[in-house]
Chains A and B, each alone.
Chain A
């Protein structure tokens, strides 16, 4: 019983920590897998795809939430809406943290 209590407490603590502190490394992995092909390895944008450099985390998160909700924002919405559809709140927080801290 004591072991179970410790396990639950640990899990809750970890969960709370995760919710409070986005994981930039996880954001980096997700960015490389799903974003860099258009926004570029340094976030500067490529071709007609916009730069994400210099954006703060609130901006990135709110845009991704809009796309996840199916809202059209700009001419690349057709690409962004399906890309954002399956993102969790945690994914968005991780991406926003990574992009805003890495691409100044």
Chain B
């Protein structure tokens, strides 16, 4: 291609974009890579999260088993097991799983080379009532053991018993993804509302929040929640945040949040912000609700128009909370199990470079399509809108996409509930 042709072609695209009012980014999505895949691990039991070292070493969690590590050659060492697990170098009998809860997120300390710290989020029955904890562990030099467990957070609420709600078993709405901010070095910890309507707007409870803490579990110095809130709280008013990543240019934390039978959300977080979830009964035009939680109302067990649901029980209630953070995207008003997310960066992704990949596990409720897929969001620079949404058609086909992480090799890694971790390679 001659330089002259290239110039004219680019000019043509820009001109057309101006005429139609579309951004050039929308056009760049047509220049997409072919994808191939490799199965990194299979036969896993509910793999939940992964975290990578620069050489490709991958820590991963299985919800009811524990923490393991796969080295760059493919060998796996099982490091920390939960109750009733076998074959782990050590076992912590207080770590337990129930429903959606168990060992969830994993993160590696930014100074791992010096301190050998790795962190996991897990339910624990060490205290009563059961809570979720963030554990800091020290990994030995040959990646065969962890030691010096320190619970840097031990008071994230856990849903203790079943209630009359969809997915209403104990352990529901448990949050659990954890990630270090690439710029500030703090650990971000999203939590869930436990089907307890009091938690999201509560100043004291850590449920329905995103926490921001240092490696000792102390509040980040510049957290800015409202007066009287626990200082570890970075944002509040969340329902169940299970996806977390950071914008590759601005480093702004961005989360995905499960919607209440409608409107899964992507939210770019603002320090001290309210995400506007408040499912308490007898307010905002609502009456009594099953077990005092309106989070699937109205008609929580029967399909109905997601728009009607959104009017009755919004995920972001701007009427009650006019200053609530503005969602960037609401999944076209549908709830389909939004979960792990990460940005694709690097020229290998061609037109998808800079897009946010979002995994959906799929929920087929009412007339809503199950929707198992990976979407690619071109996020608007304000973080309050999207320029374009595409779909990544991955070779393995639909699955319950639980965790998405771009590895140090620039490929995308996907953990699916079916028990596999895939490497998705752009070509």
**B417–A76 contact, CB under 8 A?**
no
Q: Does A54 touch B at the CB level, under 8 Å?
A: no
List, in ascending order, chain B residues with CB within 8 A of A83's CB.
Answer: 364
Q: A40-B417, A47-B100, A48-B99 are in contact. Are A79 and B169 (CB under 8 A)?
A: no
CA distance A48 to B400 in the complex (A): 12
- Judge if A77 is at the interface, Cβ distance under 8 Å: yes
Contact A79–B364 (Cβ < 8 Å): yes
Whether B83 is near chain A, meaning CB under 8 Å from some CB there, is no
A72 to B398, CA, bound (A): 29
Contact in complex: A79, B363 (CB < 8 Å): yes
* Contact code string A37-51 (vs B, CB < 8 Å = 1, else 0): 100110000111000
Q: How far is the CA of A65 from the CA of B370 in the complex (A)?
A: 22
Contacts of B417 in A (CB 8 A): 40, 46-47
B418: chain A residues at CB < 8 Å are 40-41, 46
List, in ascending order, chain A residues with CB within 8 A of B300's CB.
78
**Which chain A positions have C-beta within 8 A of B363?**
79
- Chain A residue with minimal CB distance to B363? A79
- On whether the beta carbons of B370 and A78 are closer than 8 Å, the reply is no
Asked if A81 lies at the interface with its beta carbon under 8 angstroms from chain B, I say yes
B380 CB, nearest partner CB in chain A, Å: 32
Contact assessment for A79 and B365 in the assembled complex, using a CB-CB cutoff below 8 Å: yes
Distance of B374 from chain A, by nearest CB (Å)? 15
Residue of A nearest to B164 (CB): A75
Residue in B closest to A40 when the chains form the complex, CB atoms? B418
Known contacts A41-B418, A77-B301; decide if A48 and B100 are in contact (CB<8 Å). Answer: yes
- The answer to whether B167 touches A37, judged by C-beta atoms less than 8 angstroms apart, is no
Cβ contact of A75, chosen from B63, B166, B303, B398, cutoff 8 A? B166
User: Nearest chain A CB to B360's CB is how many angstroms away?
Assistant: 11
**B362 at the A interface (CB under 8 A):** yes
Q: Mark B397-414, 1 if CB is under 8 A from A, else 0.
A: 010101000000000000
How far apart are the CA atoms of A48 and B195 in the complex, in Å?
15
Chain A residues positioned under 8 Å from B172 (CB to CB): 48
Question: How far in angstroms is the closest Cβ of chain A from B268?
Answer: 27
Complex Cα distance A7/B100, Å?
Answer: 55
Q: In the assembly, what is the distance between CA of A48 and CA of B166, in Å?
A: 11
CA distance A41 to B366 in the complex (A): 23
In the assembly, what is the distance between CA of A76 and CA of B300, in Å? 11
User: Does the CB pair A78–B100 fall under 8 Å?
Assistant: no
Asked if B370 contacts A37 (CB within 8 A), the reply is yes
Is B235 positioned at the interface, with any CB of A under 8 Å from its CB? no
Interface residues of A in 58-104 (CB under 8 A from B): 72, 75-79, 81-83
Beyond A37-B364, A37-B372, A79-B363, whether A46 also contacts B166 by CB under 8 A is: no
Known: A46-B46, A48-B99, A82-B303. A75 touches B169 (CB 8 A): yes
Other contacts beyond A48-B167, A75-B166, A78-B301: 19, CB < 8 A: A37-B370, A37-B398, A40-B418, A41-B418, A46-B46, A46-B400, A47-B100, A47-B361, A47-B402, A47-B417, A48-B169, A75-B168, A76-B167, A78-B166, A78-B300, A79-B364, A81-B301, A82-B303, A82-B366
Q: Which residues of A contact B (CB under 8 A)?
A: 37, 40-41, 46-48, 72, 75-79, 81-83
Report the 9 A-B pairs with minimum CB-CB distance, sorted nearest first.
A46-B417, A75-B168, A78-B301, A78-B166, A48-B99, A75-B169, A48-B100, A47-B417, A37-B362
